[in-house]
Structure 1
Amino acid sequence: MSDQPIRFPDLSARPHELKVERVMSAPPALLYAALTQGFDIWFAAPGSVLMKPAVNEPFFFETEHAGNRYPHYGRFLRLEPERLVELTWVTGADGTEGAETVVTFQFVHQPRGIRLRLRHAGFPNEAARDRHLVAWPLVLEQLDRRTGTVD
């Protein structure tokens, strides 16, 4: 873990955010591992992930779509095993438009599975937020499919 103090992004000038929820079939330990060290098993291009699950540690990975590569950068802000993952999220023109946003994944235990609550805040505009509002449910479905028992 870094000895540097954690610097949370100032989102006050970028108030656009979204919230998405999904009941997941995977156990919280597996979801936590997928979000902190296993991005390449469910989201990132294999071999592109540079990630150490520790607060204040930076990470990098790429996604690929239609032959194009999309770099993602960030750092972990808060980690609570099997309860919460909070990280910054920076992507290019088709994503956060270079803005350092904050994504929070919260695991809520319920009688049937884990409810994953995602909050993504700090978008520079409504268009960037709306692109992610469409994408995040699909991304969470893929996470569930690759880590859980969803067919």
Structure 2
Amino acid sequence: MAEAEKLSLEIKRFINASRDQVYAAWTDPAQLTKWFGPENVKTRNLIADVRVGGQFRWDLTDPDGKDLTISGEYREVQPGKKIVFTWQLEQDEDWKNHNSIVAVEFFDRENGTELRLTHEKLPNEASRDDHNQGWNSVLDKLEKFLMVRSARHALRRQHSERRSVQHERRLARNAGERSRAR
């Protein structure tokens, strides 16, 4: 177990979205289910009760078609700042009676957010390397999700503004027609 205490990884990523948006993507189950998981993994079910003592459960199918479950418990939740949860791969012997710890921190930066993900107490080097690759893929998907969401929001806002201008023109035209009719 002493070796596992040393095995950890840290990933820092700049995300072009506000800290509140990035935090919400990690804590709102409706958003989380849309992006969480590496690119080559299929999510079958995801439960995230984001509160201290709340449960995390992710049922997935890996690229080889094997069904897996990762479970954990939220240990720390600082709204907008930090989430800490345990992480256990239930079907893997290396993980039997072993929980690792994932911490995700969010920092305001100019034009976006710095996300710092730390995964500690991994059971072995192979697991650390696999998780490093997996977490980078997860964060790639998070960035894409937030970029698409931002673009959709901008398009909706633009469409709404266009409709508002068209409505104002119609009102002005109708007012002018009523004025001439008198």
Task: State TM-score, norm by structure 1.
Answer: 0.79
* 1:78 to partner: Cα distance: 0.8
Paired residue type of 1:71: T
Residue 124 of structure 1 aligns to a residue whose secondary structure is coil
CA distance in 2 between partners of 1:50 and 1:15 (Å): 29
Residue 94 of structure 1 and its aligned partner are, at CA, apart by 6.3
Deviation at 1:13, TM superposition (A): 5.4
2:129 pairs with 1:123? no
Deviation at 1:61, TM superposition (A): 1.6
Answer yes or no: is the 8 Å Cα contact 2:68–2:91 preserved in 1: no
Where do residues 1-151 of structure 1 align in structure 2 (5 Å cutoff)?
14-38=5-29, 39-43=32-36, 48-66=45-63, 67-92=65-90, 97-98=95-96, 99-149=98-148
AA aligned opposite 2:138: V
Structure 1 or 2, whichever has the larger Rg, is 2
- Name the residue aligned to 1:5: none
Q: 1:86 to 1:148 in 2, by over 3 A?
A: farther
Tell me which of the two structures has the higher relative contact order, counting C-alpha pairs closer than 8 angstroms and 6 or more residues apart: 1
Structure 1 alignment gaps of length 5 or more? 1-9
Aligned residues between the structures? 142
Question: Cα 1:135–1:95, aligned 2, differ >3 Å: closer, same or farther?
Answer: farther
For residue 8 of structure 2, give the secondary structure of its aligned residue in structure 1. Answer: strand
Q: 1:146 to 1:64 in 2, by over 3 A?
A: farther
Kindly, what percent of the aligned residue pairs are identical?
Answer: 25
RMSD, aligned CA: 2.7
Amino acid at match of 1:34: A
* Over 4 Å off, 4+ runs: 10-13, 44-47, 92-96
Q: Distance in 1 between matches of 2:82 and 2:43?
A: 25
Contact preservation (8 Å) 1:97, 1:128 = no
Residues 25 and 113 in structure 1, CA contact (< 8 A), matched pair in contact too: yes
Greater helix percent: which structure? 2
Q: Distance in 2 between matches of 1:82 and 1:11?
A: 33
Equivalent residue of 1:61, what SS?
strand
